[in-house]
Amino acid sequence: MEAKTPAAKSVKETALEKASREKELLELKESLKEAKDENARLMRLLEAMQQDLRIMNDSIAAIRAEVDRNVREARVEAERRESDLRANLERLHEERRQVRDVVVSSADSVTSAGQNRLIPSRVDEQERDWQQFQLHSTVYRKQEGSQQQQQQRQEQQQQRQEQQQQEQQQQQQEQQQQEQQQQEQQQKQRSCESEAAGEWTQVNRRKRKTALMSKLQPQKFCSHQQCSSQQ
């Protein structure tokens, strides 16, 4: 009975340890399943973000093309109006010079009210041209302001795109961390399974050895030399 007690105790401890390892193995499997589910969720989220990013890139490209087209059209229109304004200014300067020459040349000979009507009519025409020039200048400044607003919107779209790219990189880093944790859990699970299998094999060997020794040896033991020699 004294010889069987340590072996039985060892078997009991091994069984308890095996049960503990099996429980730990089950917990690892549950954790691995949760990690796989989380990894799948992150993959779906990443695919959705990539799809949104592609849509946003297409929208930005379309907006940029529209802005470039508007800028080109506005530049052509501004150049045309500037050319017209310069021509009008040159014409105004020429007319003023002519009016001045007429006034100087006819200052001594103009005496009647009917002859004086020519000069006010030219002055009124110059005033209308000057007002038209101011109007064109105001329209040109408004177009410049609209162009600046379009450029600002384009810069804001680019900033949002950069932010989306940063969030995508962060999601990829989290996914890599999840994959690394999953690999570590798989390695730990395989190690526990291998260790548990080895310990269970040793327990079976000890059981077989104990059973064989119990068959070969007598049930009672003594310290006499004669009994020992008979054994």
| CA dist 122 → 91, 107, 108, 129 (Å) | 12, 16, 19, 11
**Residue 174 domain-assigned?**
yes
Answer for the pair 38, 175: CB distance below 8 angstroms, yes or no: no
pLDDT on residue 45: 93
For residue 56, the model assigns a pLDDT of 92
Does 134 reside within a domain? yes
Residue in the structure block whose two tokens are 């549950």? 30
Q: Domain of 193?
A: 17-106+114-210
> In the prediction, which pLDDT does 3 show?
47
pTM for this model (two decimals): 0.34
Summary count for the chain: helices (H), strands (E): 4, 0
Helix 118-216 to helix 4-106 angle (10° resolution) is 170
CA–CA distance, 155 with 157 (Å, rounded to integer): 5
Number of domains within the chain: 1
**Count of CB atoms situated within 10 Å of the CB of 178:** 18
The residue count of the chain comes to 231
CA distances from 220 to 3, 212, 217, 230 (A): 10, 16, 8, 13
Q: Report if residue 187 sits inside a domain.
A: yes
Q: How far apart are CA 54 and CA 32, in angstroms?
A: 33
C-alpha to C-alpha distance for 21 and 200, rounded to whole angstroms? 11
Place of tokens 């009975």: 1
pLDDT for 5:
66
Residue type, 161: Q
Closest among 188, 171, 158 to 48, alpha carbons compared = 171
**35-69 tens-digit pLDDT:** 999 999 999 999 999 999 999 999 999 999 999 99
| pLDDT, position 120 | 52
Asked if 175 contacts 42 with a C-beta cutoff of 8 angstroms, the reply is yes
pLDDT in tens, the chain (231 residues): 444 566 666 777 888 888 888 888 999 999 999 999 999 999 999 999 999 999 999 999 999 999 999 999 999 999 999 899 889 888 888 888 888 887 777 665 655 544 444 445 555 666 677 777 777 777 767 777 777 788 888 888 888 888 888 888 888 888 888 888 888 888 887 777 777 666 677 767 777 777 766 666 555 444 555 444 444
Question: In angstroms, rounded to a whole number, what is the distance separating the alpha carbons of residues 5 and 88?
Answer: 120
**155 falls within a domain:** yes
Structural domain includes residue 181 = yes
Torsion over CA: 199, 202, 208, 212 (sign): negative
Task: For 97-127, write each residue's pLDDT tens digit.
Answer: 888 887 777 665 655 544 444 445 555 666 6
Please name the residues in contact with 220: beta carbons below 8 A apart, sequence gap of 6 or more: none
**Could you tell me if residue 125 is inside a domain?**
yes
